[in-house]
Amino acid sequence: MSMEYFSGLTETAEIANSFGMLTESMRITFAAVMIMATISIAIFMLGMYINLKKWGLGSEGYSLKPSNGSIFTFPKALAYQMSAKGHGHGQNIFVTLILDALLQRRALRRSPGRWLMHIAIFGGWIALCIMSVAMFAVEIIYMVGIHLISPEVFREMLSFPNDVFSYILLFGIIIAIFRRLFIAKARESTIAFDSVLLVGLTIIVITGFIADGVRNGNFWGFGMQSDLAPPAALFHVVISLFFCIAYIPFSKYMHMIAGPLTLLANKGGE
């Protein structure tokens, strides 16, 4: 079974190319996305392995010698720090996860404007990621013969929240760009990692809007023909998979993982 993915072009869609025919090349198959997703996840896992090896070179305690670089050293040290015996501020783990990691209250205390930027980008990105995983799960379940809900129906259900969180993410990106253009302190502290992150996120959001616009004929389609929907969707899917999954361990994205882990190790606090 070959199921179209993200493009919205199902086997019954009455969308034709310039010659009046719906060709196989116009479709984005589930198998193609699966291959790209597998490659992206493999690169992500390799990057995490490299990071764990690097973190495993640290000392497991004050004044102790560096460890041997095992990938199990860091999880072991983190588990100890989170236990009752570990050092830190002693804050409840759920309070740390919700208030410090998820709601980022420490950033709010320092700068409400910067917090708004971070929460919009983080919240928008996480929500879109969760919805993509949910869509993927529905596709898988449907393909194995469990027809709880049609992928097309589920895709339509996600359409509105997908738009909402896409605009939230775009709002955060606009704030980040504004800060780096017009606020001297933010501009002076900007490094290549920041620029690559912003450019990548901007491309992903804009191409997502364009792919949806071409498919549905709304404003973001800029009047382009519907037969351009599959390549537009394919470009968006490819860059999203590799930039938002494969690139994470090698970029500033890594702070989304390292930051909460550090907070957990310190048991909250400043």
- The whole-model pTM stands at 0.82
Residue 4, pLDDT > 80, answer no
pLDDT tens per residue, range 114-162: 999 999 999 999 999 999 889 888 888 888 888 888 888 898 899 899 9
For residue 32, pLDDT over 50 is answered with: yes
Most confident of 1-10, 81-90, 147-156: 147-156
Give residue 18's pLDDT. Answer: 42
| pLDDT score recorded for residue 28 | 59
Q: Could you tell me the CA-to-CA distances from 132 to 2, 42, 135, 172 in Å, in that order?
A: 19, 18, 5, 20
Report the pLDDT value the prediction gives residue 20, as an integer from 0 to 100.
Answer: 40
Nearest Cα residue to 13 out of 162, 227, 158, 203: 227
Q: What is the pLDDT of residue 15?
A: 42
Task: Give just the sign of the alpha carbon dihedral 243, 238, 123, 265.
Answer: negative
Q: Name the pLDDT band for 92 (thresholds 50, 70, 90).
A: confident
Amino acid making up residue 42: A
Backbone angles phi, psi at 29, to 5 degrees: -85, 155
Higher pLDDT, 91 or 247: 247
- Per the model's pLDDT, the better-predicted residue between 65 and 196 turns out to be 196
Alpha-carbon distances of 196 from 50, 87, 129, 169, 191, rounded to whole Å: 21, 36, 20, 16, 9
Q: Are 243 and 204 in contact (CB under 8 A)?
A: yes
Is residue 253 within 8 A of residue 76, CB to CB? The reply is no
pLDDT of residue 229: 80
The per-residue pLDDT for 232 is 85
**Predicted confidence (pLDDT) at residue 102 exceeds the cutoff of 80:** yes
Position 179 scores a pLDDT of: 92
Expressed in angstroms, the distance from the first to the final Cα of the chain is 53
pLDDT attached to residue 270: 56
